[in-house]
Structure 1
């Protein structure tokens, strides 16, 4: 039977492509506050329209202190705000450990990515991804960790990864320009453990302030407050985290220049 007269079609507008599968989890993770402990100084320098470097110095009383150097190169072909091809990323710490990533466009709908990781002088992991972008779907083939399911809409993204070790699901929702929330659920079949986390982000553009909060199943609560200081290219961040179950508390402060 046909639709009743006056009834709106099920899809009034095309949903569009959900984007890269890696980016689906990223939206949810960015809502959560980053762990901040000790003192951190980040200096970013743009050398040209294609090349950028970042220096990070972290001093911690709980974990190892050190220095990290990051270099990013982007090509001339840009398909979106966060899609520039080719893209080369390299990150090295003071012990000589390296994380490298290369992303290239093979056609209008095909993308390839390679990821390599070393620990000091020892080669650790590698991963190759092939991605196909359709009109309203994305298919990804990964040599390493299989990605099976993902979906999205203009204001929400839901993602599910299933592998031999367990499953990872996330849900991201953008309520408005100021409020974003994210939920993550991870299950580890080898350790017979599961965890749940809820994060939120509050933005005050007029005050140049962003606050991210966290609550998880390990009885941890925390938050990070970021404040930009225009016209200076400086961002100040203050974070504090408390684990009620283990009676642990730590806080940190960071300065980002660039």
Structure 2
């Protein structure tokens, strides 16, 4: 196994971020005078292991190429699903002459607060692994599994519950508490051997699997991906409230 591989970097920026609820793709949300995408590229540039970046963008994206970035940028066109965008990026990297043992660093466009220390940690961990490594944080909060229940199905015991029963409303209720001792919250960057990543993405395509990150594809094939503890400041912009927290984190990091 090559423990000093070439390193290729990819930012997936082809999505719209529907949960964010903005008229523009969330990676173009501005914080401190720059878009999230520019911030994320600048964070990657701070790593001594990274000297270029492939941006995977939507076919109708007319904004990315108008921006200035901290790294030399190449572009690839993504697909409808995240894994399809990553697959397009992998194919572009492969066409550049990359080897199976090379590492691919995949980062979210909407994670602008990752530290250079964490980027270096996960790359160095992946260098020692046959498949790869990802940044993640142990789950700290109590986890509840829920179930849906209609008030109309309940036995009423007073006039208040009678009113609820007549409404037929469906709500979520706590079913049980999940043991969090082995639970981790995945982050990015996620770093994988190129050949192995290409293999598992082909498996996802052939079996029409639904995955939310690249590590999930390896999990389907029971291939070990190392977890590297990262900072809780490396949050992802998903909902509007996240922008307030990210702005505060970015401000604190520059002081």
Query: TM-score w.r.t. structure 2 length?
Result: 0.23
- Determine which structure has greater relative contact order: mean sequence separation of CA pairs < 8 Å that are 6+ residues apart, divided by chain length: 2
Structure number with the higher strand fraction is: 1
The structure carrying a bigger helix percent of its residues is 2
